[in-house]
Amino acid sequence: MNNVRTVSDTKRAFYNLHTRPINSIYRRVVEELMVEMHLLSVNADFRYDAIYALGVVTAFDRFMQGYRPEGDKDSVFDALCRAIEKDPHTYRQNAEQLCVDANGLSVDEFVSQLKQLQASDGQGIAAHFRPVAENAQFKYSRLFAIGLYTLLERMNADVVKDEKQRNSALQQVAEALNLPQDKVQKDLELYRSNLEKMAQAQIVMEDILKADRKKKEERAKAKDAIATPPTNPQE
């Protein structure tokens, strides 16, 4: 009988790997990503691919923007991957290679290639997407959708900013890859919304930290003033 790792096992492994405390507004982000990655890793139908890797890397990097100390971010990402017994460098390398393979493609060219995957030679961008389209048991995930969105954004940021163009492109991509269209749209709407909320929370947090630093400086100055007695002028 195989012992399937539990969420508790993964969380324990993560906190053994990354022992420093995680800042409050980021803790929920990290734990939600950890649970999502764990559940996929133990799902029999899930297959790791570069699109998913790009989704993981992008979600982590964007939601962790502004994290302090900056040097802890790599440790957190490494722990996330190693907690599910995966290599963090593989995730980043695969994500980068996918972006390289998609480099120079317009959104229209990308969509056109996805529609012709059956006739493709399986090279370049097709090498990443053909296995997805041909897998009848493909396990869709929010992180896969984020990977797709990231590619479209890199090809043309204006397309993803425009709701009509974005929805049209996503619909065509979902059809070509046999993905649940409604699910893709909803997951990405929530992703965009959460990014905005996180950005607002980061601004509030930065304001609080600035105010706190100012108060500390004022207290330090007041303490110095009390500790230093005034000099009596010589007669």
Contact by Cβ (8 Å): 63, 26: yes
pTM of the model: 0.87
pLDDT, average across residues 26-35: 95
What is the rounded distance in angstroms from the CA atom of residue 51 to the CA atom of residue 102? 11
Q: Where are the domains of the chain?
A: 7-215
Phi-psi region of 156 (alpha: psi -120 to 50; beta: other; left: phi over 0): beta
What is the rounded distance in angstroms from the CA atom of residue 182 to the CA atom of residue 170? 10
Residue 50 pLDDT greater than 80, yes or no: yes
Compute CA 137 distance to the chain's CA centroid, rounded to the nearest angstrom: 25
Q: Which pLDDT value is given to residue 201? A: 86
Contact by Cβ (8 Å): 60, 77: yes
pLDDT, tens only, 191-219: 999 999 998 988 887 888 788 888 888 88
Residue 110 pLDDT greater than 70, yes or no: yes
pLDDT, average across residues 104-113: 94
Q: Which pLDDT value is given to residue 44? A: 94
Which segment of 10-14, 24-28, 110-114, 203-207 scores lowest on mean pLDDT? 203-207
3-state secondary structure of 141: coil
Residue 1 pLDDT greater than 50, yes or no: no
What is the rounded distance in angstroms from the CA atom of residue 30 to the CA atom of residue 22? 9
Q: What angle do CA 218, 200, 212 make, to 5 degrees?
A: 10
